[in-house]
Chains A and B, each alone.
Chain A
Amino acid sequence: MALPVAANPDGRIADNIVYFARTLRKAGMRVGPASVKDAIEAVLAAGIGSRDDFYWTLHAVLVSRREDHATFDEAFRLFWKSRELIEKMLAMFSPVAPDRRERQKPRPAESRVGDALFEGHRRQQPAEDTPEIEMDARFTVSGNELLRGKDFAQMTAAELSEAKQAISRLKLPFDTVRTRRFKADPGGRRVDPRAMMRLASRTGGELILPRFRSPREVHPPLVVLADISGSMSQYTRIFLHFLHALTEKRRRVHTFVFGTRLTNLTRQMRHRDPDEALAECSAAVKDWSGGTRIGDTLAEFNRLWSRRVLGQGAVVLLITDGLERDDTTGLSREMERLQKSCRRLIWLNPLLRFDGFEARARGVKAMLPHVDEFRTVHNLNALADLCGSLDRSASRNVDPRLWLEARAA
């Protein structure tokens, strides 16, 4: 292999790296000016050897999440490969021959990177008329996948302030965990030697007075799994607002929604503005008001996410009506695993609008034995109702066995 050449500081490579970083930023990666500087330094340090080394040199500095790998890969391929770039450029500037070759399977992140690279040039291209194909995709049986978008009414100012109040009053059950860190506490039961020494040195050692501390308590991570299938659609807006307010107030809230597939909305929920957050959620989720596959989506959560978000004593809040049409044996097993991997599993069921509810549906029967708390909402019109039913001071009994016994009797 040829020895890497030391990079020429007067060359164009630095400029190109700056442009490349800009492309990555437009494609949605977080690349700040500091990492551009680092990238140039890294290339200077490694020298320019093979294409592979150059790739991994830039990768080491510019990629900081595994999810960004695909974006980087695609951008690198497009940006640093002259032959293909020329082809693309030609296609871009020639108005007569839009590229009609049969496309291969699109690479992940291809469209985003392509948009970022050729931003502004797309307009000049003649609109390609594709034959419109209409399809009626309505299915009557839930469980079939039905992809739909959803618009939410914007949040009014009154609703917003009401939501904030309700959330600040809310005290979730089992909402503090004791950590192994300490805080100064005059009524504490453990001696705080560091504070004692500091105090003693202030008086020149004449007085060594005891100081105490006690374990600090924090909120555990909260993981919310919310059902957005058709049967739940009238409540979706309320609990998305609830989740947004909760995410703003507490540090570690992970939000997942599921219908026929599982979507992680944690990053979208971090948006300060509730309307923007909901708009982003709406764009990210593909299966609003479709069917339900509780078992399958829980299995996916257990396999891919549980070990990433259920650490440190997480509490799981599952919002669903439990109406599952698929086979319920898998559902029961996945619920058991979920319960065993979190500290407390709380099931909130908004379908119980009347008192005569019995655990009759097969899905409900499969899930009930594996939850720690079963909470119900009789009348879910506002966020305050949701908070009321989740509050730990709620007087109703939440033991799931009561419902099962009532059924057996």
Chain B
Amino acid sequence: MNELKPRQAPETIDETLDLLAGADYVADRSLATVLFLSLRMKRPLFLEGEAGVGKTEIAKVLAQSLGRRLIRLQCYEGLDVSSAVYEWNYAAQMIEIRMEEAAGKVDRRDMEKNVFSERYLIRRPVLDALTGKAGAAPVLLIDELDRTDEAFEAFLLEILSDFQVTVPELGTIKAEEPPIVVITTNRTREIHDALKRRCLYHWVDYPDAARELEIVSRKVPEANKRLSAEVVSFIQKLRQIELFKVPGVAETIDWASALTELDKVALDPETVSDTIGVLLKYQDDIARIEQGEGRRILKEVKAELSAAAE
């Protein structure tokens, strides 16, 4: 692992924008503002939005550009304290007890202190995130919080408001400097208001055409200019019609790179129908686009782009 050089958090909103742009993340000003505030006020950032709009990416970019360690906690149903915060190394504790017995020590309090000492504490992501040095606090990404159940959410309350964890046998562990916390959810379930209140909330929306074009040109630099414009315009139009799952930015990037790999320089109906699986993941949606709606959108895209070129 290469050495990290921690940088200080940005001082203004413009600096925040530059920081993100420097790491090839094209953010709009609203996102930069909320990110700046969360860094400044040391509050967790709560990002909600459809799948594939770059929520997780923000945490990665933040860790990379600020030179901090990224600690990722992927949530799943049944996630509990022993896999998210800490766990005791029971086997080693057992051996410790037997060793002390063999050595003939009998003082009960001593033994308890030895058995429940930091030596036998296994640090899981959350506890790990609370051990950052001043000026180099890690980025803690709590990804897809909606996948866990309410019980775990309640547990996060102490961590997010006071940045501390209470281990009954050991006492309270408090962070020297609070970690930079980014929470993401896909809204498969409503998150409780108590948790949201402790965070700064932001809804990450699909980007507009200009910003999406910029994203494509940064992420897929080898893509042809005309192709990128057509891809972005096609997807922007797809988002207008009522699909079961509209494509996100991640799909745009995938599609642009897929078409580039196929040496395409412009969209045509056959290519669209051959590669539509990159964009749409539900059979109903695919059938609908292949039944002519795709051709109609493509025609509109071509017409608009040629009108704009003149």
Bound Cα distance from A47 to B106, whole angstroms = 63
A45-B41, A46-B37, A308-B187 are contacts. A53–B116 as well, Cβ < 8 Å?
Answer: no
- Chain B contacts of A333 at CB under 8 A? 284
Q: Which residues of A contact B197 (CB under 8 A)?
A: 32, 34-35, 64
Interface centre among A38, A41, A56 (most CB of B within 10 A): A56
Interface residues of B in 145-190 (CB under 8 A from A): 146-147, 149-151, 169, 186-190
Instruction: Please tell me which one of the listed residues A1, A64, A65, A309 contacts residue B189 in the complex, with CB atoms under 8 A apart.
Output: A309
Q: Smallest CB–CB gap between A34 and chain B, Å?
A: 7
- Measured between alpha carbons, how far is A179 from B151 in the docked complex, in Å? 11
A204 to chain B, nearest CB (A): 4
Knowing A201-B115, A205-B115 are in contact, say whether A66-B34 is a contact too (CB < 8 A). no
Within 8 Å of chain A (Cβ to Cβ): is B206?
no
Binary contact track B97-117/A, C-beta < 8 Å → 1, others 0: 110110000111001100110
Report the bound CA distance from A4 to B15 in whole Å: 12
Please measure, in the bound complex, the distance between the C-alpha atom of A208 and the C-alpha atom of B78, giving whole angstroms: 28
- The answer on a CB contact under 8 Å between A181 and B93 is no
Is B12 close to A, CB under 8 A?
yes
Q: Does A149 contact B (CB under 8 A)?
A: no
Question: Range of interface residues on chain B?
Answer: 35 or more
Contact flag A60-B100 (CB < 8 Å), given A180-B77, A312-B149: no
CA–CA, A61 to B196, complex, Å?
10
Residues of B within 8 A of A32 (CB): 197
A204 near B78 with CB under 8 A, answer: no
Q: Give the Cβ gap from B215 to chain A, nearest Cβ, in Å.
A: 20
In the complex, what residues of B have CB within 8 A of residue A204's CB? 106-108, 111
A1, A47, A56, A179: the one within 8 Å of B34 (CB): A56
A92 in the interface (beta carbon within 8 A): no
B29 CB contacts on chain A under 8 angstroms: 52-53, 56
B111 touches A311 (CB 8 A): no
Contact of A66 among B41, B43, B93, B203 (CB under 8 A): B203
Q: Which of A35, A42, A69, A308 has the most CB of B within 10 A?
A: A42
Interface assignment of A302: CB less than 8 Å from any CB of chain B: yes
Most A Cβ at <10 Å: residue of B48, B82, B108, B146: B108
**Chain B contacts for A312, CB-based, 8 A:** 77, 149, 189
Q: Which residue of A3, A35, A179, A196 is within 8 Å of B77 (Cβ)?
A: A179
B94 touches A208 (CB 8 A): yes
Cβ of A377 within 8 Å of any chain B Cβ, yes or no, is no
Chain B residues positioned under 8 Å from A47 (CB to CB): 12
Instruction: Give, as a whole number of angstroms, the nearest-CB distance from B122 to chain A.
Output: 12
Q: Is the CB of A303 within 8 A of B150?
A: no
The interface bits of chain A over 26-39 (1 if a CB of B lies within 8 angstroms of the residue's CB, else 0) are: 00001010110010
User: How many Å from the CB of A21 to the closest CB on chain B?
Assistant: 14
Given the known interface contacts A66-B48, A200-B97, the answer about A46 and B77 at a Cβ–Cβ threshold of 8 Å is no
> How distant is the Cα of A13 from the Cα of B41 in the complex, in angstroms?
19
The answer to whether B30 and A311 touch across the interface, beta carbons within 8 angstroms, is no
Which B residues are in CB contact (< 8 Å) with A53?
Answer: 13, 29, 33
Do residues B37 and A69 form an inter-chain contact, with CB atoms below 8 A?
Answer: no
Contact check, B37 vs A42: say whether CB atoms are below 8 A apart. Answer: yes
B193 adjacent to A49 (CB under 8 Å): no
- Residue of A49, A60, A179, A303 touching B201 (CB-CB under 8 A): A60
A57 within 8 A of B: yes
- Say yes or no: B78 contacts A311, CB within 8 Å: no
Give the nearest-CB partner of B45 in chain A.
A60
* CA A128 to CA B202, docked complex, whole Å: 41
Residue pair A307, B13 in contact (C-beta under 8 Å): no
| B25 contacts A by Cβ under 8 Å | no
Which residue in chain A gives the minimum CB-CB distance to B98? A205
The answer to whether B77 touches A4 (Cβ under 8 A) is no
Q: Which residues of B contact A59 (CB under 8 A)?
A: 30, 33-34
Q: Which of A253-308 contact B (CB under 8 A)?
A: 302-303, 307-308
CB of B214 within 8 Å of the partner chain: no
Chain A residues, Cβ within 8 Å of B203: 66, 69
- Whose C-beta in chain A lies nearest to the C-beta of B32? A56
B 61-90 binary contact with A (CB < 8 Å = 1; else 0) = 000000000000000011010100000101
A34–B108 alpha-carbon span in the complex (Å): 47
Kindly supply a per-residue 1/0 record for chain A positions 181-208, scoring 1 wherever the CB is within 8 Å of any chain B CB and 0 otherwise. Answer: 1000000000001101110110011101
B residues near A193, Cβ cutoff 8 Å: 88, 90
Known contacts A208-B97, A302-B244; decide if A64 and B201 are in contact (CB<8 Å): yes
The B186-223 residues at the A interface (CB cut-off 8 A) are 186-190, 193, 196-197, 199-203
On A, residues with C-beta under 8 Å from B are 1, 3-4, 30, 32, 34-35, 38, 41-42, 45-47, 49, 52-53, 56-57, 59-61, 63-66, 69, 179-181, 193-194, 196-198, 200-201, 204-206, 208, 218, 251, 302-303, 307-309, 311-312, 333
Q: List 15 A-B contacts (CB under 8 A).
A: A53-B33, A56-B29, A60-B34, A60-B37, A64-B199, A64-B201, A179-B149, A181-B149, A194-B90, A205-B100, A308-B188, A309-B189, A312-B77, A312-B149, A333-B284
- What would 4 more interface pairs be, CB under 8 Å, given A181-B151, A197-B88? A47-B12, A52-B29, A59-B30, A312-B189
Lowest 9 CB-CB distances: which A-B pairs, in order?
A: A180-B78, A56-B33, A204-B108, A205-B97, A60-B34, A193-B90, A311-B188, A56-B30, A64-B196
